[in-house]
Amino acid sequence: MSAVAIPCQSSNCPNGHPPSRLECPTCNKLGIKGSFFCGQDCFKANCEWSLWNSFTKTHKIIHDIATPRQPLLDDPNINKDGTFNPFGTFKFTGTLRPVYPLSPRRIVPDHIPRPDYAQDGIPTSENRRAGQPPKILTPEEQDKMRNVCKLAREVLDIAAAAIRPGITTDEIDAIVHEATIERGAYPSPLNYRGFPKSVCTSVNEVICHGIPDKRKLQEGDIINIDVTLYKDGYHGDLNETYPVGRVDDDSKRLMSTARKCLDEAIKLCKPGALFRDLGKTIEPIARANGCSVVRTYCGHGINDLFHCAPNVPHYAKNKAVGTMKPGMCFTIEPMINLGHWDLEHWPDDWTSVTIDGKRSAQFEETLLITETGVEVLTAGKPREDLQ
């Protein structure tokens, strides 16, 4: 069987990225796929200026990230199996720790259409349309949203079925990635503003944007899985929080409260409703159950752009502008904490955690405003554990 030629992977290839079969031997050994170059010159010249202000080989950086570290007897951040906590000196707010190295970036087949940020991480279309009013979708565009949202729900349900003590969030990422490409779709989070994975997995005190890694889920954890698919030029976005085995009563209360906050907010959605009024319903429900509402993140418009107008805050007395109109698509996704609403970020610049280390839960749906009310495009079956 003949080998498949892959375009030269050098970012500065002077030959126009021709089909190449010279593979990096170290990447091959580490299991990193797609590291091919058209010649020694491209391989040797593949350098960039590093964060430490010295010229380093791009592939050397990749090798260092992908290679398990050797355990040191006096380093508590490195485990005997070679996994490690990359932020050992960081003052974590809770008990959760990252477990690196991250697995290599997953491959999306060439035949699958992808959003404009897939290659360089820059959502050019979003940036160009920033500040514009919410888009009103045509009937044809609404059908595309229905289709991609239906597929996103399927993928989330497949990922949720895999939740169990002992599975890693990286393995959940692999499940989401494969289920997404099986449906001819692109996993929207992958390389969006540089995000390294195909799904967000947020465990315990992580509010949102958790990066899948090698940590194994434990009995009593809770995990939010946030799935977004891109197909036929449109995105479908949803998430849910799930128990890992048996969880304590506080976690049950937190998840049920977060789900109720979303459901009651959806009931308000119809033509003429004000976006700022959603928080008036959400925050009293959270407070009545001893919880708080995150203020830093909000719901968002979604269509051919991953994130766009309108902004949809979830707390009371917000200043959101705008009225719901038929043809608008947006998400509602209240993040509810057991403790204080404030947050901070891990040094990866993605993982958002509660300021006091207490748990957080979230549920999200993509909605379409119709002439008579609202259609939940990502709707799933009611969960018995949330009743």
Asked whether the predicted pLDDT for residue 72 surpasses 60, the reply is no
- Residue 115, preceding peptide bond in cis (omega within 30° of 0): no
Residues 183/155, Cβ–Cβ less than 8 Å: yes
pLDDT at residue number 63: 58
Q: What angle do CA 188, 193, 194 make, to 5 degrees?
A: 90
> Given this model, what pLDDT does residue 62 score?
53
- Residue 344: pLDDT over 70: yes
Query: Is it the case that residue 71 has pLDDT exceeding 60?
Result: no
Residue corresponding to tokens 């003590």: 165
Confidence label for 32 from pLDDT (cuts 50, 70 and 90): low
Q: Of 31-35, 145-149, 171-175, 276-280, which range is least confident? A: 31-35
Helix (H, G, I), strand (E, B) or coil at 169: helix
Confidence of residue 80 (pLDDT cuts 50, 70, 90): confident
**Token pair recorded at residue 95:** 């008990």
User: What's the pLDDT at 147?
Assistant: 98
Residue 309: pLDDT over 70: yes
What pLDDT shows up at residue 75? Answer: 74
**Is the model's pLDDT at 34 over the cut of 60?**
no
pLDDT at 363: 98
Alpha helices (runs of H) in the chain, residue ranges in sequence order: 25-30, 40-45, 58-66, 124-128, 139-161, 169-182, 249-266, 278-288
CA atoms within 13 A on the CB side of 243: 18
What pLDDT is stored for residue 5 in this prediction? 47
DSSP state of 81: T
Query: What is the C-alpha to C-alpha distance for residues 233 and 147, in angstroms, rounded to an integer?
Result: 11
